[in-house]
Amino acid sequence: MKDIMGMMKAAGEMKAKMEAMQAELAELVVEGRSGGGMVTIALSGKGEMRSISIDPALLKPEDAGMVEDLIVAAFNDAKGKSEAEMQRKMAEVTSGLPLPPGMKLPF
């Protein structure tokens, strides 16, 4: 019975940590850049776009395709950083928790 009580306590602590982490991720802002910083995109820790900045030198009709590609690249850069930060924070929350190999949270 001690093991079950210990597991229940650990689960309650993990739940509180997860809620705190989710609130922290909602406030987190990461930036992705492309084109040497000519396009910058800011995302929340949950992957929601917060802002986009495009250097005015790129805003020529003949450069539209290149600008579109730079926007995609900047978004993907920011998204990758956001996901890496989420994984880092999740590792902090689940450290010490005996999870089966290969099991990832959140499910």
Domains located in the chain, CATH noted: 2-94 (3.30.1310.10)
Full-model pTM: 0.59
Structure confidence at residue 34 (pLDDT)? 93
Q: H/E/C letters for each residue in 26-73?
A: HHCEEEEEEHHHCEEEEEECCCCEEEEEECHHHCCHHHHHHHHHHHHH
Question: Which has the minimum average pLDDT: 4-18, 77-91, 92-106?
Answer: 92-106
Look at 18 and 77; give whichever has higher pLDDT.
Answer: 77
Q: What are the distances in angstroms from CA 56 to CA 20, 38, 63, 73?
A: 39, 9, 11, 18
Cβ contact 70:37 at 8 Å: no
40 band by pLDDT with thresholds 50, 70 and 90:
very high
Question: For 41-90, what is each residue's pLDDT tens digit?
Answer: 998 877 788 889 999 988 888 988 988 899 999 989 988 888 888 888 87
What is the amino acid identity at position 50? R
